[in-house]
Amino acid sequence: MYDSAHAVTLAEIYAARRRIAGRVTRTPLVRSGALSRRFGAEILLKWETCQPTGAFKLRGATNMISALLEERGRDSLAAGVVTASTGNHGRAVALAASRLGIPAVVCLSRLVPEHKAAAIAEFGAEVVRVGESQDEAFGEVERRVAERGMTLIPPFDDPLIVAGQGSIGLELMEDAPDLDRVIVGLSGGGLLGGIGAAVKAIRPATRVTGVSLSRGAAMAESLTAGHPVAVEEVESLADSLGGGIGLDNRCTFALVSQVMDDHYRVSESAIAAAMVDILAHEKRLVEGAAAVGLAALAEHGLDVRGRKVALILSGNAVSLETLDRARAMIGR
């Protein structure tokens, strides 16, 4: 039986990669000429937008559902899997469950954009709207687990989820073994925790930098407080970074505390500029949460001159209306 209250090891991350092989994409790490010239550094872009779901979340969801099937057997998941999401995790659970022949329900708060709800439904999951925050949506998840015997696939706070996301860190270390810094969006901590666990185990000198929203950043506020706290969820161009970390957080809070070297918050205008810059120079559309690494470099003037730096472009679930809003914010 997997215990969600333990640290994620490098061995578990390697096991996750073996488990998800052939079911997720090994994404490219590509040097950006424009950004490298701009910052006087070697800026590498990790394109998780190349996943079939358009975001990194497929790694963790596939790992957890596959591991549960291996450990418990198919009958144990007959009632289906259930989760709460701000969009990308729900899409990942929907696709992973569909591929493995498991029913799935995804609970969303009313803050989650409609285009993300539609994208989840496309993969065959039942979408349930409830509440004004991810925490409220999670209440419906808990009810379905208790009353219907469904199996929870949490968005971030489980070693199996974290280990799946950590496979990104293995790819980074293989493709750029002398990497000086990796900059990762920080929300629930599954992505940063997984990448950080892999990177620090292989190359401790690599700096792990987290980036959060200027408002409504639950993990950032929790780290400052020294324990998990609740924050008010707010609308943002980087809506995937919203939501709480759970007052009973058992995995990611401690892990992020251990592996993250420094942390920055970014404004909505900086996120907007980064989204537009990536589209202009790289010719690819990314969501706000994927652009926060570039936003931090620009807004905080991080000195990366002469360094090799990777930015995790975590997903592309953004509507054209949101892109237009970003452009309007910066007058482009």
Q: Which of 109, 214, 222, 314 is catalytic?
A: 314
User: For the chain, what is the mean pLDDT?
Assistant: 94
Could you tell me the pLDDT band of residue 3, with boundaries at 50, 70 and 90? Answer: very low
Instruction: Centre a 10 Å sphere on the Cβ of residue 70 and count the other Cβ atoms it contains.
Output: 9
Last residue of a domain, one of 152, 183, 198: 152
Write the single-letter amino acid at 9: T
pLDDT category at 79 given cuts 50, 70, 90 is very high
Tell me, yes or no, if 314 is annotated catalytic: yes
Final residue before a domain boundary, out of 95, 119, 152 = 152
Q: Is residue 4 part of a domain?
A: no
Q: Per-residue pLDDT for 147 more than 60?
A: yes
pLDDT band for position 4 (cuts 50, 70, 90): very low
| Euclidean distance between CA atoms 90 and 240, whole angstroms | 11
Instruction: Look at residue 43 and tell me if it is in a domain.
Output: yes
Q: In Å, how far are 189, 217, 238, 247 from 235, measured between CA atoms?
A: 19, 11, 8, 21
- Among 46, 57, 116, 308, the active-site one is 57
% of the chain exceeding 90 in pLDDT: 83
Q: Which of 133, 152, 171 is the last residue of a domain?
A: 152
**pLDDT value of residue 5:** 46
Instruction: Categorize the per-residue pLDDT at 87 as very low, low, confident or very high, splitting at 50, 70 and 90.
Output: confident
pLDDT at position 183: 98
Q: Is residue 5 part of a domain?
A: no
pLDDT score recorded for residue 207: 98
Among this protein's residues, is 66 annotated catalytic?
A: no
Tell me: do 95 and 187 sit in the same domain: no
pLDDT of residue 6: 59
212 three-class SS: strand
Question: Cα–Cα distance between 122 and 131 in angstroms, integer?
Answer: 22
pLDDT digits 0-9 by tens, 158-194: 999 999 999 999 999 999 999 999 999 999 999 999 9
Answer whether 156's CB lies under 8 Å from 123's CB: no
Asked if residues 296 and 192 have their Cβ atoms less than 8 Å apart, the reply is: no
- Residue 302 confidence (pLDDT): 97
Task: Identify whether 305 is part of a domain.
Answer: yes
